[in-house]
């Protein structure tokens, strides 16, 4: 069966825009990687990978018995673990630049009301993640390690492994960083119309139980860390309900505003 020569190819003229998008995506990724690499190079010079790990381990070493230190059970751990900390720190510091590159790639294809929706969410979610990590480092770690050491028998000398400590720290940072994203999840669900504000309010009592279940699963089996995660989640849920009402009001599409005016 021969194709109709007069019929226009449906894909005609789409090759160049698609390639242009790929080129722009590549350029954005390269800029993001350069930002992370530049920060990593600076951190490698000052304060250095070893000093970064010492800073990360400070909440634990402050609670260890006098003379006790962390140990390395693997031959390459003293090199690999500080290097991982260096890369993690570089990514977190350069995260605003990385997110800006993502935003610059996506923004041209959005309507004005969608930009009003996306940009505040990107900025607030980043800030909340950093706040969660900072809360975990400056408050939770000190309380948890002190609580744990108070139960250690005098016959035991605490000497945690540096790789195990890094794994613990990353897990806690991720848990608290994501937990502090609760307002963003609430706002998105309400803005997309998946859940109404009234249903969010009626779900309060269930969310309190859910918050304690999540805290019990992702944190160590001690009361301090579980309360330190569950209570902020509950507070942030209330913040999310309030923010959702404000956000919905100021990010309506033109057709939604017109429909609301007609209904009124």
Can you give the pTM of this predicted structure?
A: 0.83
Tokens of 161: 């492994």
Q: Residue 14 burial (CB < 10 Å; 0-12/13-18/19+)?
A: exposed
pLDDT at 199 over 50: yes
Q: pLDDT tens across 219-228, in order?
A: 888 888 899 9
Lowest mean pLDDT segment, chosen from 39-43, 168-172, 256-260: 256-260
Q: pLDDT tens across 168-185, in order?
A: 999 999 999 999 999 999
pLDDT (mean) for 33-46: 96
Cα(159)–Cα(145) distance, integer angstroms: 13
User: Domain spans of the chain?
Assistant: 19-254
User: Percentage of the chain with pLDDT > 70?
Assistant: 88
pLDDT (mean) for 71-89: 92
Tokens of 227: 């309360």
Higher pLDDT, 245 or 12: 245
Task: Select from 33, 191, 26, 21 the least CA-distant residue to 118.
Answer: 191
Q: pLDDT tens across 99-146, in order?
A: 889 888 888 877 777 777 788 888 898 999 999 999 999 999 988 888
pLDDT confidence of 231, banded at 50, 70, 90?
Answer: very high
Question: Which pLDDT value is given to residue 11?
Answer: 46
Averaged pLDDT score across all residues of the chain: 85
């Amino acid at each position: 069966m021969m194709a109709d020569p007069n019929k226009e190819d449906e894909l005609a003229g789409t090759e160049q825009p698609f390639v242009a998008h790929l080129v722009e995506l590549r350029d954005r990724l390269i800029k993001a990687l350069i930002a992370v690499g530049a920060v990593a190079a600076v951190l490698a010079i000052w304060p250095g990978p070893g000093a970064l790990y010492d800073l990360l381990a400070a909440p634990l070493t402050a609670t260890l018995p006098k003379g006790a230190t962390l140990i390395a059970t693997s031959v390459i751990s003293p090199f690999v673990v500080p290097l991982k900390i260096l890369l993690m720190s570089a990514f977190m510091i350069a995260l605003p630049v990385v997110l800006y590159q993502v935003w610059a790639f996506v923004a041209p294809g959005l309507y004005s009301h969608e930009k009003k929706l996306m940009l505040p969410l990107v900025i607030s979610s980043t800030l909340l993640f950093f706040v969660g990590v900072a809360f975990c480092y400056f408050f939770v770690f000190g309380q948890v390690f002190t609580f744990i050491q108070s139960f250690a028998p005098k016959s035991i000398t605490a000497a945690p492994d540096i790789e195990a400590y890094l794994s613990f720290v990353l897990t806690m940072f991720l848990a608290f960083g994501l937990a502090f994203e609760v307002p963003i999840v609430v706002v998105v669900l309400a803005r997309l119309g998946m859940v109404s504000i009234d249903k969010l309010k009626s779900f309060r009592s269930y969310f309190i139980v859910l918050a304690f279940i999540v805290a019990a699963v992702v944190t160590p089996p001690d009361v301090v860390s579980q309360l330190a995660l569950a209570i902020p989640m509950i507070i942030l849920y209330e913040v999310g309900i309030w923010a959702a009402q404000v956000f919905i009001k100021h990010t309506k599409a033109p057709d939604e505003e017109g429909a609301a005016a007609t209904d009124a």
